[in-house]
Chains A and B, each alone.
Chain A
Amino acid sequence: MLDYFRSIGARAIHSVAVLGRSGVFLANSLIGVPTLRSGFPLLIKQLYSIGVLSLVIVIVSGLFIGMVLGLQGYNILVDYGSEQAIGQMVALTLVRELGPVVTALLFAGRAGSALTAEIGLMKATEQLTSMEMIGVDPLRRIIAPRLWAGFISMPLLAMIFSVVGIWGGMLVGVDWLGVYEGSFWANMQASVSFEEDVLNGIIKSLVFGFVCTWIAVFQGYDSVPTSEGISAATTKTVVYSSLAVLGLDFVLTAVMFTAL
């Protein structure tokens, strides 16, 4: 009986300790911003492996999601004779919700897991320790560029996703199903607001990018330095990031779009 309570207590203390460690870790790596000259090439390299290499999956899924939205929306709207509203539906869905959320989920699977595995392996092979030995701060050299790269690429990817998705919706709606192109764009422009919809979508993707990269690099840095440890950390990254994205999305939507 006492052991039962003990295990609950131990688990609670453990999770609070992990939360605290990740906070300290985040603060240390963000404060340790490398100088512009030495840090910039590192950032470019990470932007390439986090951002550019995620482009293909983001563009392809954006295109298909936009096309599916176009098809589904058309089938429902055509019953009410208002299939011109398809542009508005596709654009609002993508810009407000699916753009940031799906990109963040893809980002966690594509870039986040890679980050965790990379950093976990660095830790397992004691590269991080040897860096400390020769006086290079691994937080500054390894973690900070990756954090910033994730923070920068995520909104860019989300915007690209939305645009490609809208084009996909237009491909299905206008070119295949024959909705008039003028009313497709006009309805969209009349209902999508730059300040309320586009900017809030970008804010969402900034938050998601921040959370996903933070979880990914922290799980890598905090992993048990064995092969099982790395695989567990990679799984945790994807699971925690996805849950955090979906949960935060609800909170952000409640704050942003309900008080209109």
Chain B
Amino acid sequence: MYKRTIEIVVGLFIMLGIGALAVLAFQVSGLTTNAAADTYKIYAQFDDLGGLTKRGKVSMAGVTIGRVSNVELDKESYTALVEMELYRSVDNLTTDSTASIQTAGLLGEKYISISVGADEEYLKEGDTIFDTQSALNIEKLIGTFASGK
């Protein structure tokens, strides 16, 4: 009987540990199971990323619709090439959409905000957004202001 109790308690302990792993995975790190499957890739070129990195948010009207999956330098145009993975459910972004890099709050992280245009065709897998707006660079702004241009 005593042995049985020990076995039950050990079983509960193991389950508690696994439960803790589940909490860490889903509640703390926000892991989603269907992240990789139903997304499509969109590209955009920016003059200045201003601190946008991989895993950054892509949002529209404040709602997250995807994430930044890769950031690299385009060697031909000397601009930053950003690869985004957007949710398959958001499939009606027009081809003349605008992508701009914005900051969450005053000191928050950088994210990409997309706003739609008026075109009748929609962006597909592998398409590029041409109308982009780089991050607001406060130092550059102050520099311009100080030199009075």
A and B: real partners? yes
A160 x B20 contact (CB < 8 A): yes
Determine which of A51, A166, A191 lies in contact with B13 in the assembled complex, contact meaning CB atoms within 8 Å: A51
Hey, which chain A residues are within 8 Å of B6, CB to CB? 44-45, 48
Number of interface residues of A (CB under 8 A): 33
Chain A residues within 8 Å of B106, by CB:
81
Residues of B within 8 A of A48 (CB): 6, 9-10, 13
Q: Tell me which residues from 149 to 204 in chain A have a Cβ below 8 Å from any Cβ of chain B.
A: 153, 155-157, 159-160, 162-163, 166, 185, 188-194, 197-198, 202
Interfacial chain A residues near B27, Cβ < 8 Å: 185, 189
Provide the main secondary structure of the chain B interface: helix
B107 at interface by CB-CB < 8 Å: yes
Give the contact-size bracket for chain B.
Answer: 20 to 34
| Chain B positions within 8 Å of A243 at CB level | none
Among residues 74 to 107 in chain A, which have CB atoms less than 8 Å away from a CB atom of chain B? Answer: 80-82, 91, 95
Across the interface, do A47 and B10 meet the contact criterion of CB distance under 8 Å?
Answer: yes
Interface flags for B60-98 (1: CB within 8 Å of A; 0: not) read: 000000000000000000000000000000000000000
What are 28 A-B interface contacts by the 8 Å CB criterion?
A: A44-B7, A45-B6, A47-B10, A48-B6, A48-B10, A48-B13, A52-B10, A55-B13, A81-B106, A82-B108, A95-B24, A153-B17, A156-B14, A156-B16, A159-B17, A159-B21, A160-B16, A162-B28, A163-B20, A185-B27, A188-B28, A189-B27, A190-B109, A198-B21, A198-B24, A198-B25, A198-B28, A202-B21
